[in-house]
Structure 1
Amino acid sequence: MDKQDLGAFLRSRRERLRPQDVGLPSGPRRRTPGLRREEVAVLAHISTEYYVRLEQGRAPRPSADVLAAIAGALRLTDAESDHLHVLAGTAPNRTGLHRRDVRPSIRALLERLPQTAGIVTSAAFEVLAWNDLAAALMEDFAPLAPADRNLARRAFLGPQGTGAALYGVSDIAEFRLSVVMQLRTTLARYPADPAVRGLVDDLRDGSTDFARLWDRHDVQAPPMLTKTFRHPVVGDVTLDCDTLMLADSDQHLVLYSAQPGSPSAEALALLNVLGTEAGQYAR
């Protein structure tokens, strides 16, 4: 049970709610944002004293029933409710290291995908595997150290202001927000993994944007359905972005494909011919 993070998460969810969101009168002007602690306690049918101690990090581990009641009172989404249980230690919690080995069948699948750029990322956003078209669209990851293949590091600690931080993608702000949300749940699943903890610490120390977003305690990222890359050779390439969860290894297979007959499909075809030397950051 991570008492301090649990308390901070509960507080952040309580402060985002307005009384009218949960069917309560707004009443006189409030000195602080959100619901009062006693209001959450009433809605969850628990004592105010116990809820206050939970937010202060002084309470014993709550039961699954109490957590479910609090989740309902705070109008948590499914992802937020799962995160609440992980923080409280009432859900399965991976205490080892996150997986970095990629199944041979997945690597073979990447190579067989027609006209599709594909990568596999770890739970900590390291690019673990890729095909030639992905290398042509983004960069050849082969000569890079693992830290330099980490998309979270590139998004927050890479070159700023020109789009170069992440291969000229059009939605870097949305991607950064997604990184923060997913890293928060990753850290909850792998609290003993020094690589995950070190990554979060580096990002918090090196990026004020990351630190600001991290302190919001959000855990549900919106899906990214399309992405536009600004490529120095073929120009703007707008692609469908499909992310498939590899549940057994806690990794993601990310696929970039273009609508048939579109200018972006022609650009991908040209990159396929040019090969890895066309990569935006070829070395």
Structure 2
Amino acid sequence: MSDTESSHQNAYTKDAVTSKHDPEATLKSIVIQGKDLTLEQLVQVARHYCNAELSTDVSICSRMEESVAIIDEIVNGSQPLYGVTSLFGGLANRLVCREFAEELQNNLVRAHKTGAGSIMPLEAIRAAMILRVNAHLIGASGIRQLWDERLVRFVSEGVTPLVPEFGSIGASGDLVPLSYIASAISGQDETLRVDFRGEIISAPEALLRLGYKPKRFLPKEGLAMLNGTSVMTASASLACYDLYTLMAATLHVHAMVLQALTGSNQPFHPFLQKIKGHQGQVNNKNFDVNLLDSQISYDSFRKNFEGLF
């Protein structure tokens, strides 16, 4: 069985049903390290306000510093690099001078705050922030770690930028919604609002309360904050988790109904599922067989079929 199939099967367990609603199931803290972030961990941070921490792995810091150093070398050497020493889209053939490279990134963030509609669910925004950090820690984005420290601090302190729900199609990146998140942690926009533990205040005020000062993005950092599909991935992740939870609950109900009707677990025998070859059915069969592996199922099977063979 593949890792994907195994993870799907593991999702249909008692834990998948109880952890979402059981306060005791909430993790104490998770460490973000650019890999191995699980769906369960993401949901615990985004939905249940579990504490998040940045990894202290020296190799992660080194990779991030090296990527920043490469960007500095490119900018100082006036080498052409899309979106760093050049403009964007159809203007990519127009280079910018070294002195304008920093302003270009901050203009990029300001220009994309064009969202519309109601505010996205806070849990989706929080999940997007964690996913952005997780991507940065790979060490290939050319962004300083101080921005990820701010993102994680916002999430852990219950500070969430208010991001409009419309404006992104999740193609090359969730540029519009991520621009609100980027603007919030930089504190350069007095009009931007955040949810500070239930209180709506300005982003600069939130930074002040957390002990930060407004800060500008350096070359490449605006792109590193905006050019990713973290928001769409966050929404999809939360939906998948809810789907797994509902699926597990459905299977429990299915087993309870079979028991109430004095049914049998024989139709779910692994041999039958293997012959049919439907992978989803194969994944579920052990679950059903285990749930129905009781004296009730055995007695009802003997009662219903005794004397027929």
Query: What TM-score does the superposition give when structure 1 sets the normalisation length?
Result: 0.27
Query: What TM-score does the superposition give when structure 2 sets the normalisation length?
Result: 0.25
Instruction: Give the greater-gyration-radius structure (CA).
Output: 2
